[in-house]
Amino acid sequence: MKPFSFGKNERIKEKKLFEKLYTSGKISFSSNKKIKAVYFFVEDRNADFPKVAVAVSKKAGNAFWRNRVKRLLREAYRLNKLPISSFCKEKKKQLFIVFSPFLLNQKENKTIGVVDVIPGVQEMLSAIIRNEDK
């Protein structure tokens, strides 16, 4: 795994995993409530990195805007994944996360950039580490 890559083996693709995440996962919000993360940990000795997905509802905006938000959330995660990856290796746990916008929508935010998304993703990743370390 390259430190700043985001390959196919790091993505959640299986429907069963999405269902398990949404039924039994923990929910975390950024402080400004713009981004939501649903996550859970599984004991796994071979866990090298977390598995991540991004989901955006059609209610958030048109296809152009939704795809931009997905790209930005993936990029924000990719740039800030080193602490959570090292935490998973240290604790020997596999982490599954789904990021989605919560109060972030096209009506309120006509233009959006990576600087709008990175602080929320960083905050949620550190909160996940803090909550699991207890």
Residue 4 lies in a domain: no
In a domain, 47, yes or no: yes
Res. 107 pLDDT band, cuts 50 70 90: confident
pLDDT of residue 131: 85
CA separation for the pair 69, 66 (Å, rounded): 5
Helix, coil or strand: residue 104: coil
2 within domain boundaries: no
Its domain, for residue 73, covers 9-133
**Tens of pLDDT along 28-84?**
998 888 899 999 988 877 777 888 999 999 998 899 999 999 999 999 998 988 888
Q: Where are the alpha helices (DSSP H) in 1-134?
A: 15-24, 63-79, 82-91, 114-133
pTM: 0.89
pLDDT over 80 at 4, yes or no: no
State the pLDDT at residue 2: 65
Q: How many domains does the chain have?
A: 1
Q: Is residue 42 part of a domain?
A: yes
In CATH, what number is assigned to the domain containing residue 27? 3.30.230.10
pLDDT of residue 134: 66
- Asked if the structure places residue 1 within a domain, the reply is no
Could you give the 3-state DSSP secondary structure of residue 89? helix
> pLDDT value at position 49?
80
Burial (CB < 10 A; 0-12, 13-18, 19+), residue 108, is: exposed
